[in-house]
Amino acid sequence: MKENEATLEERVQAVLSESQDGRGGLILLLQKVQGELGYVPEEAILGISHKLGIAASEVFGVLTFYAQFRLTPQGRNLVRACRGTACHVRGGVAIRKAVEKGLGIKAGETTADMEYTLETVACIGACALAPTMVINDRVYGQMTTKKAEEIFSEYSGGRDD
């Protein structure tokens, strides 16, 4: 580790020290930690529990209730496969399975190299383009398994959009 690189614990403590005490700040504090680290690690749950004077189980309960929060680090590229009705009836399951096979992970997992995280979502909001997939903020419509392979070969070639 480089000298100027802060440890995870130091980064958590820095976020916590900038925040106000009080129960009402739990979600804001979780958002700040995740904004800084990309996820909410166990050290942060314990630190927040101590700072706000509430049980760690309560912090964990809130953390797992809201879909916006993550307990594990996310890959550099976030892949969202739509499982909505329009995508489903137009072959979305085959697309998701092809992506899972290509990345070597299942939905909800991150590749070992931290390059990709794969999620499924209820709807992307682009039903006319079904089946769809989103990588980071870019929507890919009228997907086929062949298109998915081509897209990931572009990303593995060093593309970062």
Mean confidence (pLDDT) of the chain: 87
Rounded-to-integer distance, Cα 82 and Cα 122, Å: 6
Q: Where are the alpha helices (DSSP H) in the chain?
A: 8-17, 26-37, 42-52, 56-65, 85-89, 92-103, 145-156
Angle, in degrees to the nearest 10, between helices 42-52 and 56-65: 120
Query: DSSP code of 97?
Result: H
According to DSSP, the residues that pair with 77 across neighbouring strands are 116
Give me the pLDDT at residue 68, please.
Answer: 87
96 backbone φψ class: left, alpha, beta (φ>0; ψ -120 to 50): alpha
Give the model confidence (pLDDT) of 61-85 as tens digits: 999 999 889 999 999 999 999 999 9
Asked whether residue 3 carries a pLDDT value surpassing 90, the answer given is: no
Reading the block at residue 139, the tokens are: 């929507």
∠ CA 146-151-157 to the nearest 5 degrees?
Answer: 130
Give the model confidence (pLDDT) of 38-66 as tens digits: 899 998 999 899 888 899 999 999 999 99
Domain(s) labelled CATH 3.40.30.10 in the chain stretch across 77-156
The one-letter amino acid code at 94 reads A
Rounded-to-integer distance, Cα 74 and Cα 116, Å: 8
Give me the pLDDT at residue 23, please.
Answer: 56
CATH superfamily membership of 77-156: Glutaredoxin (3.40.30.10)
